[in-house]
Amino acid sequence: MGRATRANSSDGISDERYSGILRHISGDTSRMRSREIAYEAVKNAILSGVFEPRERLIEERLGEALELSRTPIREALAILEHEGLIEAVPYKGLRVRPVTLNEFLGMYEALGMIESVIARQAVTRVTGADVVRLASILEVADRCIPDDVPGHLRACRQFQQALGECAGAPFLTRMLVGIEERSDLYLIHSQQQLSAENMRASVEDRRAILNAVQSGDPERASQAAEKHGEAIRVRWREHYPNE
């Protein structure tokens, strides 16, 4: 794949942000459509902190970096705009959408309720293979502590995705992962450092959900998920007591 060679372009944005986005594709590109390649590359770059809030996304330069035409780039960006990760600014084009503090804190009001339903439904469908998969994802999240914050957040999102798949709840899962993505975007770029203590607490909360799902008790699973959402709100409101 081609790489940009200039340090900066005429718009003043570092080419390094574009030249490395192929590294953020986790799947086999030979099995992916052009739109899927563009979507995964740009989305993962945003959620890894490569592209910062309010940074413009230039179609031409994305196409050069990914060696794709403008059509799949535009299709991918349209999906990301629909998901709320980027936004259109009049006369300026598309940029990474900033997440405000109030939005960040408000997202967790819904997280516990959605996760509670998913956990309850997962109880009746979970298999031994599911448990192994979910536990292995949490091991990855644990190993990322304390230095790899994007990797830790990515693993936590993967846990939510896998739990939703286990529950057979695609619509709720999309809602839950969407909340996680936008809140993670705030965490990556905020001035509030994500401490090792908070990261470990997040993993332990999810282990409690997994244990409850594995126990076969829907009520216990639901309560574990609700407790997770409340614990997140408590941990972060300690940092923002006036909000």
For 111-130, write each residue's pLDDT tens digit. Answer: 999 999 999 999 999 999 99
Nearest to 225 by CA among 242, 243, 208, 239: 208
The pTM score is: 0.86
Residue 27 in this model has a pLDDT that exceeds 80: no
Which two tokens mark 71? 């059509």
**pLDDT over 70 for what percent of the chain?**
91
Cβ proximity of 12 and 153 under 8 Å: no
The domain segmentation of the chain, as residue ranges, is 16-96, 101-237
| pLDDT mean across residues, the chain | 89
Residue 5 in this model has a pLDDT that exceeds 50: no
Cβ proximity of 22 and 40 under 8 Å: no
Of the pLDDT bands very low, low, confident and very high (cuts 50, 70, 90), residue 13 is low
CATH number assigned to the domain with residue range 101-237, chosen from the 4 options 3.40.50.300, 3.10.620.30, 1.20.120.530, 3.30.70.2190 = 1.20.120.530
For 128-174, write each residue's pLDDT tens digit. Answer: 999 999 999 999 999 999 999 999 999 999 999 999 999 999 999 99
**Alpha-carbon distance 189 to 235, whole Å?**
18
Domain 16-96 carries which CATH code? 1.10.10.10
Residue 224 in this model has a pLDDT that exceeds 60: yes
Q: For tokens 């590109």, what's the residue? A: 29
Of the pLDDT bands very low, low, confident and very high (cuts 50, 70, 90), residue 1 is very low
**What's the pLDDT score for residue 15?**
65
Dihedral angle computed from the Cα positions of residues 130, 135, 138 and 140, in that order, rounded to the nearest 10 degrees: -100
